[in-house]
């Protein structure tokens, strides 16, 4: 059996842009453990009990800061900002003023630009070994976004095996904001094959269709009668090969589902029969990007195994992609005097066999 130790703190003691980096670990009364780093305010590991009582690490990632810095996939476990997902042509307007972002995903801007929040070393404060607050002040004009943005992200590990992530931000000039967490999960353990056998349920009637550059074409589309209907649990593999335009445009599932569930009801869950581990996601956000790791290449992860295509999936709670340019989508504007707040909860449990 593979054992999954937490990474060593000393391998996270490094320096990026003159700021020291660290590993922080939290453990709850049920024995679950998580590791976080201030480099990108990211989730490094989550050791969760499987149905045999073994702790397995269900989060993809690396065992050192260097691993994260040198990875092809830059977003493992990170806080994504200022604007997660894509902005068409890297352009948007606020009050008739046009702003231009760097293009880092073909002709579009992705995940906050070339040096998004995932590349920053955040300040940190640890409370009662249960809660970590990360802070970052993004300067006016950073990556082309207007306004100085003061951001905090807190991670708490509850005794109910939940990772509770709370985002907060304020600005001194009207700006746009869309924050998420980009953890890749494999409920059979990171590096342990692909996730296509996972059973997924997404409580959404609609999703945001995208063109072949993964930009919304306008509006939302019913899941009914498509491969995107996850209202009843089914394996990811079940409709994965369907010859549907949306699956082709996303190179698999890489779409934002409309979330109408309140924070108290799961927006989605995933489950592995092999490990028995179930992950439910709860959020305040109107969208949930379900991404099946279609562009994972061959980074070598914590277990020493390669992270191949479909080796992990993400449940990224967020506002819809390209919202600033889509007038029917919920607003992503943040104005001076307002406080942006959002929450994501990843809750782990063992599912009893039916």
Q: State the catalytic residues.
A: 182, 316
The DSSP annotation for 68-136 comes to HHH-SSTTTT-EE-SB-SEEGGGEEEETTEEEE----BTTBEETTSTT-GGGSB-EEEEETTTEEEEEE
Residue 289 contacts ligand BGC per CB under 6 A: yes
**Total binding residues for ligand BGC by CB under 6 A?**
8
Residue 316 contacts ligand BGC per CB under 6 A: yes
Q: Kindly indicate which of the ranges 126-134, 170-178, 199-207, 287-295 contains the residues binding ligand BGC, using the contact rule CB under 6 A.
A: 287-295
CB of 134 or CB of 320, closer to ligand BGC: 320
For the bound state, the minimum distance from the C-beta of residue 94 to ligand BGC, rounded and expressed in Å, comes to 24
For the bound state, the minimum distance from the C-beta of residue 316 to ligand BGC, rounded and expressed in Å, comes to 5
- Residue 222 zone, left/alpha/beta (φ > 0; ψ -120 to 50; rest): beta
From the list 276, 284, 240, the residue with the least C-alpha distance to 58 is: 276
Token code pair at residue 90: 């890297």
> Could you say which of 52, 125, 213, 295 contacts ligand BGC (CB under 6 A)?
295
Fill in the per-residue mask, 220 to 259: x = in contact with ligand BGC (CB under 6 A), - = not in contact: ----------------------------------x-----
CB of 152 or CB of 181, closer to ligand BGC: 181
Q: Kindly indicate which of the ranges 36-44, 233-241, 289-297, 303-311 contains the residues binding ligand BGC, using the contact rule CB under 6 A.
A: 289-297
Residue 52 contacts ligand BGC per CB under 6 A: no
Residue 192 contacts ligand BGC per CB under 6 A: no
- Looking at beta carbons, which pairs linking 61-65 to residues 24 or more positions away fall under 8 Å? 61/184, 61/190, 61/301, 61/302, 62/7, 62/299, 62/301, 62/302, 63/7, 63/8, 63/11, 63/302, 64/7, 64/11, 64/12, 64/14, 65/11, 65/12, 65/13, 65/14, 65/16, 65/21, 65/37, 65/39
Residues 65-104 touching ligand BGC, rule: CB under 6 A, are 73, 75
Residues that bind ligand BGC (CB under 6 A): 73, 75, 214, 254, 289, 291, 295, 316
């Amino acid at each position: 059996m593979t054992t999954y130790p937490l990474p060593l703190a000393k391998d996270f003691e490094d320096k990026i842009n003159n700021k020291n980096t660290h590993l922080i670990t939290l453990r709850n009364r049920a024995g679950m453990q998580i590791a976080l780093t201030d480099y990108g305010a990211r989730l490094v590991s989550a050791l969760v009990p499987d149905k045999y009582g073994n702790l397995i690490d269900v989060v993809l990632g690396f065992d050192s800061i260097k691993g994260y810095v040198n990875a092809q996939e830059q977003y493992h476990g990170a806080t994504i900002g200022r604007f997660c997902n894509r902005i068409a042509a890297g352009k948007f307007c606020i009050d008739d003023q046009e702003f231009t972002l760097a293009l880092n995903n073909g002709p579009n801007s992705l995940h906050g630009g070339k040096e998004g929040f995932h590349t920053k070393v955040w300040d940190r404060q640890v409370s009662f070994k249960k809660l970590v607050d990360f802070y970052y002040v993004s300067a006016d004009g950073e990556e082309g976004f207007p306004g100085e943005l003061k951001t905090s992200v807190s991670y708490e590990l509850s005794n109910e095996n939940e990772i509770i992530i709370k985002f907060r931000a304020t600005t001194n000039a009207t700006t746009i904001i869309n924050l998420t967490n980009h953890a890749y999960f494999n409920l059979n353990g990171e590096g342990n094959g692909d996730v296509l056998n996972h059973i997924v349920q997404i409580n959404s009637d609609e999703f945001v269709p995208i063109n072949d550059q993964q930009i919304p074409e306008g509006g939302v589309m019913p899941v009914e009668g498509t491969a995107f209907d996850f209202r009843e649990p089914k394996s990811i593999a079940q409709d994965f090969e369907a010859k549907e335009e949306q699956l082709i445009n996303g190179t698999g599932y890489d779409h934002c589902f409309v979330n109408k569930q309140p924070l108290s009801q799961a927006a989605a869950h995933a489950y592995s029969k092999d490990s028995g581990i179930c992950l439910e996601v709860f959020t305040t956000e109107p969208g949930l990007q379900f991404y099946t790791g279609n562009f994972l290449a061959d980074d070598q992860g914590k277990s020493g195994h390669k992270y191949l295509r479909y080796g992990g999936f993400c449940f990224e709670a967020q506002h819809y992609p390209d919202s600033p340019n889509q007038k029917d989508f919920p607003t992503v504007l943040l104005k001076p005097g307002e406080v942006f707040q959002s929450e994501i909860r990843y809750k782990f449990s063992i599912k009893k066999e039916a």
